[in-house]
Amino acid sequence: MLFKSRERQVHDHICREIESRLERTGAPREIGDFLLNRWSYLLAGIYFSHGDQHPDWEAGWHTVNGLLWSLTPKRDQAETEQFLRLLPTLLGRVQDGCDAMNLAEAERDQVFSLLAMLHAAVARAGLQASRDADGPVTQLGRDADLVVSEDELAGLDAATPSLEKPRGDGARDQILMDDLRIGDSIHFRMDGDGRKLYLQWVSPMGGMFLFADEDGYDAVSLTRARLAEKLLRGEASL
């Protein structure tokens, strides 16, 4: 009974810390719900398994800080480019957390589709932002994990899961993915509906793809492995 009470105390403390960060950054409610109702339990599990000095504990909070920072306005192109360099690492960490939580695929896709739409909006606004002091200003927390080296980016993309064995036309799809360029279209079939989306952005090492409609909305972000899987299943076609 005392242990249960301790678990509750720790989880409540984690939620208060997350809420404080949400208030400072003004993150969308759906992202706040994900952090409070899902990520908080991941952090609590890490705390009870390893304590608050373990690298996983630090990485979990760095992911919270980085995710919230990624959703704030960027004041110029330089900061937007920093955001784009951070994004593959950040999404990889969120993906790892979802794996650790055994998050249902439908809920996971909903989270990543929302992030894709929000990140596309941040990138578009940032690339158009002027460099003067009147432009949008990003508030950076002192403990925000914003330094992402090229080695980390390379490690992320190298660690992207791949399918065990290409089936059918898997080799052809692999070649076609390598030939994808910004502006190329892909037909997605989701929930019985067909959507034509255009490639908006590819991570530096080619491990993450961002698609959206002609207006930049209805965005979907996919790892290379998930895109290959959809191609193999017939849920997408080039």
182 near 199, Cβ under 8 Å? yes
pLDDT higher than 80, residue 115: yes
pTM: 0.59
pLDDT higher than 80, residue 183: yes
Amino acid at 172: R
Query: What's the token pair of residue 132?
Result: 């003067």
To which H or E segment does residue 222 belong? strand 220-223
How far is residue 125 CA from its own chain's centroid? 18
| Closest to 163 (Cα-Cα) out of 208, 225, 206, 224 | 225
Give me the mean pLDDT over the 68-72 stretch. Answer: 88
- Buried-exposed string 24-60: b where 16+ CB fall within 10 A, e elsewhere: ebebeeebbebbeebbbebbbbbbeeeeeeeebbebb
How far apart (Å, rounded) are the C-alpha atoms in residues 237 and 101? Answer: 31
In order of their start, the domains of the chain are 1-148 (no CATH), 161-238 (2.30.30)
- Summarize pLDDT for 127-140 with one digit per residue, the tens: 665 444 444 433 33
Using DSSP, state whether 5 is helix, strand or coil: helix
Higher pLDDT, 208 or 74: 74
How confident is the prediction for the chain on average, in pLDDT?
A: 74
Half-sphere exposure of 67 (CA within 13 A, CB side): 28
How far apart (Å, rounded) are the C-alpha atoms in residues 186 and 197? Answer: 6
